[in-house]
Amino acid sequence: MRGLLDRAGIPIPEGRSFAPEERDAGAAWFSELGALTVVKPAFSQAGAGISRNVGDAAAFDAAWKAAVAHRGEVVGADPAVVVERQHSGVDLRVFVVGEELVAATARVPLYRLGDGRRTVRELVSEAAQHRDAHPRLGEHPHDALAHAQQTGLSLDEVSEHNRPYLLGQDVAAPAGGVTVDVTGVLGNALQTLAVDAVWAVPGCKAASVDILAQGIDDADDAVVLDVDTRAGISVHHFPWVGRRRHVAEAIIRQMVSVSRA
């Protein structure tokens, strides 16, 4: 996938792919990068085997083993391990059908906005209950209260109006991540980038695109992390915040249109 995107001029993180037995070559490339790194299977299901913030030899060794152990077992899936420079930014998952962007979701850590009336403890409790009741996120238990205590939040103080209180450590669902629908506000340049990434894959008519961007209004310094033709669509049907997007309907319409052509 990296090769296809690169040849199409799609911006991707600096990185290389290695066969599972090329651990030493991967370690040498990691040292050459000299930066925080992401080590991941070329094909991963539900984010399994992806290690971020890899910064030293011991962490790389553990990350490599995790990537090899969690390679996708789907027939025809790329078995390689990818070692690439880590980028910061807003984590976006965009779904494209044909030439149309049909859904876009930002993945962020669990949070709650202060209202100037309730205590931080009450906000934490409400956020945890809301997340636990979610049909997708509730499958990944997260102790929001413990996180708030560990980060030093004053639980019994009245919350500050409009202050965001972070209650998770990562955007991944197992680490307390949540999803926010941004379909209606995603910038045109990012929409174009997502469509171009899908069309860089020969024969691909529908797929999700993972993008790291500096914001949701432009594509400056944005990089495409992956194009996944097997991605689940429930993240768009059931966002934690925002309007649900009916990706399945868009896929069916595309199938009917192609069948009539």
CA-to-CA distance for 92 and 213, rounded, in angstroms? 8
pLDDT tens track, the chain, 261 positions:
778 898 899 999 998 999 999 999 999 989 988 888 999 888 766 667 788 889 999 999 999 999 988 765 555 667 889 999 988 899 999 999 988 999 999 999 999 999 999 999 999 999 999 999 998 888 888 999 999 999 999 999 999 999 999 998 888 887 788 999 999 999 999 999 999 999 999 988 899 999 999 999 989 999 999 898 888 888 899 999 999 999 999 988 888 877 765
Residue 207: partners with Cβ closer than 8 Å, 6 or more residues away: 95, 96, 198, 201, 227, 228, 229, 231
What confidence score (pLDDT) does residue 103 get?
96
Identify whether the C-beta of residue 227 lies closer than 8 Å to the C-beta of residue 207.
yes
- Can you name the residues that pair with 18 across neighbouring β-strands? 81
Instruction: Please name which of 122, 121, 143, 147 lies closest in space to residue 132, comparing C-alpha atoms.
Output: 143
What confidence score (pLDDT) does residue 141 get?
87
**Structural domains of the chain, ranges and CATH numbers in brackets:** 1-86 (3.30.1490.20), 87-110+168-261 (3.30.470.20), 113-165 (no CATH)
What confidence score (pLDDT) does residue 88 get?
85
Tokens representing residue 145 in the block? 């209260």
Residue with tokens 């910064």, as numbered in its chain: 55
Identify whether the C-beta of residue 81 lies closer than 8 Å to the C-beta of residue 68.
yes
What confidence score (pLDDT) does residue 83 get?
92
Radius of gyration of the chain (CA): 20
